[in-house]
Structure formats: C-alpha cells, structure tokens
Amino acid sequence: MEDDNFQFDTLAVRAGAYHTEYGAHTEPIFLTSSFVFDSPEQAAARFSGAEPGNIYSRFTNPTVDAFVTRLAALEGAEAGIATSSGMSAIMTVCLGLLSAGDRIVASHSIFGSTTQLFTQVLSRFGITTEFVGLTDLAAWEKALKQGAKFAYLETPSNPLTDVADIAALKQLTERYGALLVVDNCFCTPALQKPIEFGADLVVHSATKFIDGQGRVLGGAVVGKRALIESSLLPVLRTTGPCLSPFNAWLLLKGLETLSIRMERMSASALQLAQWLSTQPMVEAVYYPGLASHPQFSLAARQQRAGGAIVTFTVKGGRAEAWNVVRACRLFSVTANIGDARSTITHPATTTHGRIAPDVRQAARIGENLIRLSVGLENAQDLQADLQKGFSS
C-alpha cells in the first residue's frame, strides 16, 4: 500500500489488495498461465520491458504479486519474490547470489534440507559452507573474516530455541563484506522483523505459520529492492520455482490472521512452558519467553513474543520421551510445525534422526528431547493432554 504509516494489523489485511471490475471484496484468484495483449505493439512492449504488465505466470501473476507485496509490507521490506516452497526460496537466494568458488557461513542449527542444499548440492558447484554455533559471535567473526558471500541463520533455532543477535551479526557481515540472510519462518514478521535489525534478505517457508493451517507449500524472499530485482528475479523467472496463484491466494488470506494467530499461539506456548517447568518429570524447558532462557532479554528486544515452539527434555531417555508422545491424544504426532493443530515431535528419531549420533549429541539433541508446535486449541486442553504422558 502507498501509505506506509499503517500499523502491522492494517497492512496484514489491506496491503497489496487488488480489485476487479466485478467489485469482489476478496481478491479473486487469477488462475491463468498466460496473459493476452491488445496488439502486437503491446506484446512487443511487454516483452521488451518498455511497458510493465503481465506476460506469463512464471514471471508475474496478480495473485502472487499481492501475496509478495503484503508480506514485504509486513516485513518492512522494499521488495520480494514468492516461490513454490521454502526450499525453493532458499535455492533461489543461492542461485542468485553465489558463483563457483564462493563461501557461505551458516549456523549449525538450520533446517535439515537447508544443510543438505548447502553441503550436498552447492558443494558440487564449487561452493563451500562453514558452519558455526548460532550464538557464538567470535566463531561467526572468525569465519566471516575469511570472506563469505553471505551469512545464513534461523532464529530462534530448531529445536532448542537458541536466539541469535541479528544486529550484532549485521555489524560483522558489514565489516567483512558479506550479506546477512535470515530465515524468519519460526517467528514470522508478526513477532520479529529481521530487516529492522539489518538483515539484507529474509526467507520464508510460508508452508508453516503463514499458511497456518497445514494446507499448501509456499515460500518467499523479501529484502532490498536492488538485490531482489538484479539477483533473484532473473533466476526465479528463468528457472521456474514460481508459486501457484492458488497457493498464493491461500497464503494471502493466511497473512490476514497471522498476527492474532501468532499472539494466541505464543500465549498458549508460554503458559505450557511455564507449566512444564514445574513438572517433576521434566528436566529442562527451552522457550525464549521464559526468564530461565539464556537469551531471554535479547529475545525480549528482538521478538514481540516467544513464538509457538516449545522444547523440553524429560527425565530418562527415549522410552520416557516416547511415552509422552504416545499418550497424547490432542497433539498430532508429526514433524510439521506451524499448524493450527498442535504437533509433537521426537527430533532425535525423526527430524534429526539421520544425523550422526556424535554430531546430534554435540547439537544437544538428546533422546529425551521433545518439541511442541503449539496450535490454536485451548491451552488447558493441551496441558491436560501432556499431563497424561507424564502420569503413564
């Protein structure tokens, strides 16, 4: 929207809205692969770029553009692109920014497929990745000093909710000539705006909280207009990881309720985290909204709330953790996060199951660790559901 004085909640339901001659209040879905021209002159002008406008939905589509415009407004970004999934958003960043011989410095605790992309795919094209501890600023500095195209991180981390100091990392990337790329999937702009702290690009798996109802895959990258237009758009248009207009429409609607969903989920997550901390069966609770969290004050500065992910360890090992998972009737046993329905995951045998045991131990992902993605059910009901696992 032109007027950027509007608050977040207003932008969430109004930014990027478009209207047609039929007067529909909700944005219609433009399910069309291509667009027609009034004349050969207009077709030529569109193709040459002399006239702005739609040509083909791999390049642009009004529904997809509306989603990107709205998300960019919410993140405080100048521009963005939408992609078919979170992974294709990250791939587009890599193809857009990297060349053979380049280096990436990334946090150890990033999404598993992102690690695979960096180490198994990009490595074949002569790109190397150095991994460092998310909160270890000295390690980031040492790695960035040796030169890197970009620094890459997620905060809070998955599954242990470590919080990175984005502003401090921006100082380092600026000093050593790297870009700062932040995956903001866990917080969404409703809770955290990495661009305010200096991030150059923000990537999203819109599949998670932005959709928020476990329906579709989608992704996005937002940030500096120059980077988006010169480096990312040409790759998106040429290689084709474009977002379906149908998915874009669902995600556009998802953004309208993002803020209230994230607030409610965070409130329930905090309540559960506080209750878990009092349970005799529980060894430790990891949640950025708890005063016991090592980066509690940083999280309070950087995030509007703690988010929906609560992780805890039970006393014992795999058997005790699986007892809790097994006893749940409300929490869905799945590795997915960001759904309106709460989910429970045993990372050591699922999301982090293929990691070598010693590496997993170094990452503090033990057999007694459980991750919750708190949804929109009543918090008392969720608490009672977990209680069953502790009494069994």
Confirm or reject binding of residue 60 to ligand PLP (CB under 6 A).
no
Cα 257 to its chain centre, rounded Å, is: 17
Confirm or reject binding of residue 205 to ligand PLP (CB under 6 A).
yes
Residue with smaller CB distance to ligand PLP, 185 or 227: 185
What are the structure tokens assigned to 80, written together? 């963005």
- Of residues 30, 111, 152, 287, which one binds ligand PLP by CB under 6 A? 111
- Of residues 65, 154, 339, 385, which one binds ligand PLP by CB under 6 A? 154
Residue with smaller CB distance to ligand PLP, 16 or 86: 86
Stretch that binds ligand PLP, among 106-114, 261-269, 315-323, 342-350 (CB under 6 A): 106-114
In DSSP terms, 223 is beta-bridged to 79, 201
- Of residues 185, 233, 255, 282, which one binds ligand PLP by CB under 6 A? 185
In DSSP terms, 313 is beta-bridged to 284, 369
What are the structure tokens assigned to 281, written together? 């069966």
Residue with smaller CB distance to ligand PLP, 47 or 246: 246
In DSSP terms, 222 is beta-bridged to 80, 202
Residue with smaller CB distance to ligand PLP, 208 or 360: 208
Q: Are strands 150-154 and 128-132 parallel, antiparallel or unpaired?
A: unpaired
Confirm or reject binding of residue 201 to ligand PLP (CB under 6 A).
no
In DSSP terms, 131 is beta-bridged to 106
In the complex, residue closest to ligand PLP by CB: 86
Q: How far apart are CA 372 and CA 236, in angstroms?
A: 34
| In the complex, minimum distance from the CB of residue 362 to ligand PLP, in angstroms, rounded to a whole number | 20
Q: How far apart are CA 40 and CA 96, in angstroms?
A: 32
Residue with smaller CB distance to ligand PLP, 188 or 282: 188
By the 8 A CB rule, do 76 and 223 touch? no
Stretch that binds ligand PLP, among 67-75, 83-91, 241-249, 361-369 (CB under 6 A): 83-91
| In the complex, minimum distance from the CB of residue 11 to ligand PLP, in angstroms, rounded to a whole number | 23
Confirm or reject binding of residue 91 to ligand PLP (CB under 6 A).
no
Cα 136 to its chain centre, rounded Å, is: 21
Stretch that binds ligand PLP, among 109-117, 171-179, 270-278, 351-359 (CB under 6 A): 109-117
In DSSP terms, 343 is beta-bridged to 332, 373
Confirm or reject binding of residue 217 to ligand PLP (CB under 6 A).
yes
Confirm or reject binding of residue 219 to ligand PLP (CB under 6 A).
yes
Stretch that binds ligand PLP, among 17-25, 192-200, 204-212, 251-259 (CB under 6 A): 204-212
Q: Exposure of 364 by Cβ count < 10 A (0-12 exposed, 13-18 middle, 19+ buried)?
A: middle
Strands annotated E in 237-337: 282-286, 309-314, 332-333
Closest Cα to residue 16, out of 7, 5, 27, 24? 27
Residues binding ligand PLP: what is the number (CB under 6 A)?
14
Stretch that binds ligand PLP, among 85-93, 239-247, 256-264, 371-379 (CB under 6 A): 85-93
Ramachandran assignment for 126, one of left (phi > 0), alpha (psi -120 to 50 degrees), beta (any other): left
53 to each of 57, 60, 231, 275, 296, how far by Cα in Å? 11, 8, 20, 54, 47
Confirm or reject binding of residue 207 to ligand PLP (CB under 6 A).
yes
Residue with smaller CB distance to ligand PLP, 122 or 185: 185
- Of residues 12, 64, 66, 87, which one binds ligand PLP by CB under 6 A? 87
Confirm or reject binding of residue 320 to ligand PLP (CB under 6 A).
no
For residue 107, give the DSSP letter: E
Cα 215 to its chain centre, rounded Å, is: 16
Interface contacts to ligand PLP, rule CB under 6 A:
85-87, 111, 113-114, 154, 183, 185, 205, 207-208, 217, 219
